[in-house]
Copies of this chain bind each other. A is one copy, B any other.
Amino acid sequence: MTETLIRETVERLLEKINAISAPGPGYTRPSYSSLESDAHRVIIEEAEALGLEITRDAALNLFARLPGLDRNAPALHIGSHLDTVPMGGAYDGAAGVVGAMALATAFVKSGEAPPTDIVVTVTRAEESVWFPVSYVGSRAALGRLTAPEMQAKRADSGRTLADHMLELGGDPDAVLRNPGLAAARFVELHIEQGPVLDKAGEAFGIVHGVRGGLRYRDARIEGIWAHSGGAPRAARSDAVFALADLIVAMDKAWGAVLDEGHDLAVTFGRVDAATAEHAFAKVPGRVDFCIDIRSDDMAILERVDGMFRDEIAKVEKARGVRVVTGAQSRSQPTRLSSKLGHDIAATAAAFDLKPRFMLSGGGHDAAAFAQAGWESVMVFLRNWNGSHNPDEAMSPADLVQAVRVLHRTWSRR
């Protein structure tokens, strides 16, 4: 009965949430957009029907609380986010929110109170492609968002975080005054961003750490514009050739660091030599780009940042160009709760499952909770199409199974 209930909740809510999107391909719900608010409303209505206690904080994070037997014990927060990257998929964020609602539904419908309060937690603005700030909503809830961050501009609108928050009914000043939630427990269900679980034929895994990142989101190379047939090779300052050198050098550096046994990922996700000024018959005098460096080890991030700067110096000298990196942004590599992870793994064993412990390549709200001193853990669901794209994949059956394991973990049986 519980299994059917969980499956029905998962399927119904995924359909309702993903009916809300800017035009495709894929799903687009910008951070602090009315689309994100509409998706929150789907959860509010469902939570009201279940009789949960609903609150929203000044940053518009949503909390739907189911009372537990010991109301003084630290609550179990469970949830994720409902914003998406531009043209993202159906599951990044949504799967975790829907899974949390299914868990609450399982408790409510069984008539069994959980040992502590369970709080379905729907954060805001997790996808930092919109505002260049990591974990906006969860850090706001934790009292860790700063005044300069509140002035960050959204990539599409150019308007500030404070402005967008205010527009939707939030209170930026109150966010900055907020002492933050007291430390409790946080569990986040999420699709894996990579193919590891799917390739291994495993439905879910337990995440013991979240990679940190070091980024230059607005870097550029300045060369000299010239006619493609007129500028002799030696006299050129070609921004695109310079960037190709830099990318190939960083690819080699990535391989070398991996060969030493460290964790690292390097990505140039956006390259723009396609303005009105660029043309096939012109030597490009400028290219804009970004670089995203991720690792579970801050020392490796620092070292690769140093390698990046060394390669920049080489390219500037060899190509007669100027490289401007722009501002650096960072997120800390974070260790998650091994206690919560082992609690979940112990229950899984009763289902004849042996979930692997793995690293998350992407950042998640669970890291923000861990950094604030919470016991925080993630459960990854297998996904055979990567994330942040319209084809993100997930088997609802895998999510149902993971929710059943969580239900068993925190029920008395």
| A interface residues, Cβ below 8 angstroms from B | 25, 85-87, 127-129, 192-196, 211, 213, 215, 217, 224-233, 235, 238, 240-241, 243-245, 247-248, 251, 254-255, 258, 265, 267-274, 276-285, 287-288, 290-292, 294, 360-363, 386-389, 391
The oligomer's copy count stands at 2
Chain B contacts for A226, CB-based, 8 A: 193-194, 386-389
Which B residues are in CB contact (< 8 Å) with A87? Answer: 276-277
Let me know if A248 and B251 touch, CB within 8 A: no
Measured CB to CB, the nearest residue on chain B to A380 is B230
Instruction: Report the nearest B residue to A232, measured CB to CB.
Output: B194
Complex Cα distance, B291 from A280, in Å, reads: 7
Residues on B with C-beta less than 8 A from A233 are: 254-255, 258, 265
Contact residues in B for A251 (Cβ distance below 8 Å) = 241, 244
Distance in Å from the Cβ of A117 to the closest Cβ of chain B? 32
A-B interface, 7 closest residue pairs, ranked by CB to CB distance from nearest? A193-B230, A229-B361, A193-B227, A272-B274, A226-B386, A244-B247, A225-B389
Q: 6 other contacts beyond A87-B277, A211-B229, with CB at 8 A cut-off?
A: A194-B232, A213-B229, A228-B388, A229-B363, A241-B268, A270-B278
On chain B, the residues within 8 Å of A129 by CB distance are 279-281
Whether A279 contacts B85 by the Cβ 8 Å rule is yes
Contacts A/B (CB < 8 Å), 25 sampled: A127-B281, A194-B226, A194-B227, A196-B232, A213-B229, A226-B388, A227-B361, A227-B386, A228-B267, A229-B292, A231-B361, A231-B386, A240-B247, A240-B268, A241-B247, A244-B251, A244-B268, A269-B282, A270-B284, A271-B284, A274-B288, A280-B292, A281-B362, A282-B388, A283-B386
- Whether A283 contacts B267 in the complex (CB less than 8 A), given A229-B363, A243-B244, comes out as yes
A248 to chain B: which residues have CB within 8 Å? 244-245, 248
**Complex contacts, A229 vs chain B, CB 8 Å:** 193, 211, 213, 265, 292, 294, 360-363
Q: CB distance B269 to A272 under 8 Å? A: no
Residues from chain B with Cβ under 8 Å of A230 in the complex: 192-194, 360-362, 386-387
How many angstroms between the C-alpha atoms of A269 and B282 in the bound complex?
5
Contact A265 B387 (CB under 8 A): no
Please name all residues of chain B whose beta carbon is closer than 8 Å to the beta carbon of A254 when the two chains form the complex.
Answer: 233
Contacts of A86 in B (CB 8 A): 276-277, 279
Cα distance, A230 to B241, chains bound together (Å): 28
Whose C-beta in chain B lies nearest to the C-beta of A215? B280
Judge whether B388 and A227 touch: CB under 8 Å: yes
Residue of B nearest to A210 (CB): B229
Chain B residues with CB below 8 A from A227, complex form: 193-194, 361-362, 386-388
